[in-house]
Amino acid sequence: MMKKIKQALSKIPLPVFQNPAPVVAILPLEGVIGSGSRFTTALNLAGLEDKINQAFDVYNVKAVALAVNSPGGSPVQSELIMRRIQKLSAEKKIPVYAFAEDVAASGGYLISLAAEEIYAHEASIVGSIGVISAGFGFNKAIEKIGVERRVYAAGDNKSILDPFQPEKDKDVKLLKELQKEIHDFFKSLVKESRGDRLKGTQKIMFSGQFWAGKEAMKLGLVDGIGDIHTVMKEKLGDKTKFKRIKEDKGFIKSLLGMTGPKQRISEEIIATLESKSLWGRFGL
């Protein structure tokens, strides 16, 4: 009896399960890169690590797409984010592609180096491979209003570049030496990632200049022109699905939504102005 049942069951065709559609996890990387504060949202590894992990853990994920929209910021946080993405990509054998949106400049471009390929829109701003330090000198202002600056320090260079004292040549020399070290570090990362794809001269590419998408492609800083959905469907097929990793609400968004902290708004205003100055360098 059991034998007949087994024979009958063996003749019933098994259901055919189609392979599920490939999924691309979109990881938004938008904003200034830095440590942030209680009231501001900045891109840094501590704040992004969970989202990076989520992107690589999406069900049936076949690729991770970085949606980069950043004018730069901390070189340290930029590299930490880049290396974390690269490490997970290698461990899980999931390729990463970067897509410059409005701007992928300075640290924003550095983060993009985590990807196997980088794409940009024709109007994207890409590059700014350099190091900058900006500030103000208030020594004449405090002298004019009759304020005396008093500084006591142990260590000859402890008060370097004090904005309330006259600028000193030796201070500027020390700063430029530091900037050169960081710039060399940045250049080495670009060469390591882009390799033979770089077409421009080092003098031009590493001058701190930035370009629109097509010119960046000619220089080898990006691999092509295109958006996430178009490029990824070309790579994985028309049935490709997309899963965007959600961003946390920032302080301003929370404030407008009548939730979250409402005090120390002046700190947020200052941080917003600093952030705006970084975006403003690229006309944004």
Is residue 251 one of the residues assigned to a domain? yes
Whether 5 shows a pLDDT value over 80: the answer reads no
Record the tokens describing residue 277, joined without a space.
């100055």
Instruction: Write out pLDDT tens, residues 213-262.
Output: 999 999 999 999 999 999 999 999 999 999 999 865 554 444 444 344 44
Q: Examine residue 133 and state whether it is found in any structural domain, yes or no.
A: no
Whether the pLDDT of residue 6 is over 80: the answer is no
CA dist., res. 75 & res. 110, Å (int) = 8
11-20, 46-55, 65-74, 179-188: range with lowest mean pLDDT: 11-20
For range 7-29, the mean pLDDT:
73
The model's pTM is 0.79
Q: What is the mean pLDDT of residues 13-38?
A: 77
pLDDT reported for residue 7:
64
Quickly state the pLDDT bin for 88 (edges 50, 70, 90). very high
Q: Which residue has the tokens 């949606």?
A: 67
What CATH number is attached to the domain comprising 90?
3.90.226.10
- Is 143 domain-assigned? no
**Is 46 contained in some domain?**
yes
Which residues are registered as beta bridge partners of 118?
Answer: 98
Extract the tokens encoding 231: 């490029």
Mean pLDDT score of the chain: 82
Q: How far is CA 154 from the centre of its chain?
A: 38
Domain count, the chain: 1
On the CB side of 145, CA atoms within 13 Å amount to 7
Q: How many residues does the chain have?
A: 284
Query: Looking at the domain assignment, is residue 192 inside a domain?
Result: no
Task: Answer yes or no: is pLDDT of 24 > 70.
Answer: yes
Say what the pLDDT of residue 39 is: 42
Question: Does 177 map to a domain?
Answer: no
Q: Is the pLDDT of residue 111 over 90?
A: yes
For 151-174, the pLDDT digits (tens) are 778 877 777 777 877 788 887 888
Asked whether residue 120 is assigned to any structural domain, the reply reads yes
State the residue range of the domain holding 220: 21-128+209-280
Q: What percent of the chain has pLDDT over 90?
A: 45
Q: Give Cα separations from 276 to 74, 124, 131, 280 (angstroms).
A: 16, 18, 18, 6
Whether 171 is covered by a domain: the verdict is: no
